[in-house]
Amino acid sequence: MPLTIPLKTRAPLQVLSLGRSGVPRTTLERQMLRAVIGGVAICDPGKAVEKLEASKGDLIGATIKEADLAKLFDAIEAVWDDPSAAPELTKLDTTVARALDTRAAYVAAVRERAASNQAVLAAGLAWAAALDVAQLARTADLVNTEVQLSRIPTFEKKQVALEQQVTDLQAEFTQLKAEMTSLKKKSASAPGPA
């Protein structure tokens, strides 16, 4: 029994190839699949990896609430219709989108929608895992790697921190110098011993 992809694209797009399931995939459908994989992997990379472990069972038979899944597609279509509707892109959105060969705005739209609703996130994870669990797991690994690498202080971060310390020390030095001048003036104007 072929797996049907619950998509509702409005525009007639060129069919590039047939997927493993025999379902035609258009350019937009591929973009949507990759955006969902990227967005849900960013939201919860741990659950994405769990889906890989569960794939040894029966992910195809997983219950996917189409109403929740449709919210992810609606988010993508909103950005497709009006690119200015895209949420603010993060570095992670851009990195994941580049790795998946999709648009960062689509990934950000999915991320934002899935992050705000656990049922939508669960539906997206189940759908992405049913279609390409290996890609979902690779994307989750990429997300985890990028998050961990972002914790390493870079030279620029260290330089900024050092420059701030120098600025703070200069301010303290200026204040101490002013206090020393004030003390010298007081001691000079003070009457000496008689």
Strand partners, 15: 26
**How much is the pLDDT for 79?**
93
Give residue 56's Cα distance to chain centre: 27
What pTM, to 2 d.p., does this model score?
0.65
Structure confidence at residue 167 (pLDDT): 94
> What does the alpha-carbon distance between residue 31 and residue 13 come to, in Å, rounded to a whole number?
12
Tokens at 67, concatenated: 């109403």
Q: Looking at residue 68, what is its pLDDT?
A: 92
How many angstroms separate the CA atoms of 78 and 160, rounded?
A: 39
Measure the CA–CA gap between 113 and 76, rounded to whole angstroms. Answer: 10
How many whole angstroms separate alpha carbon 120 and alpha carbon 107? 14
Structure tokens belonging to residue 98: 């580049």
Domain boundaries, the chain: 15-149, 154-188
Residue 178 has which token pair?
Answer: 């002013």
Pick from 74, 73, 43: nearest CA to 136: 43
In the chain (194 residues long), the average pLDDT of successive 10-residue segments reads: 41 35 62 91 83 59 80 93 92 94 94 93 87 87 89 80 91 92 84 66
What are the residue ranges of helices labelled H in the chain?
Answer: 27-43, 45-54, 66-81, 91-100, 104-115, 118-149, 155-189
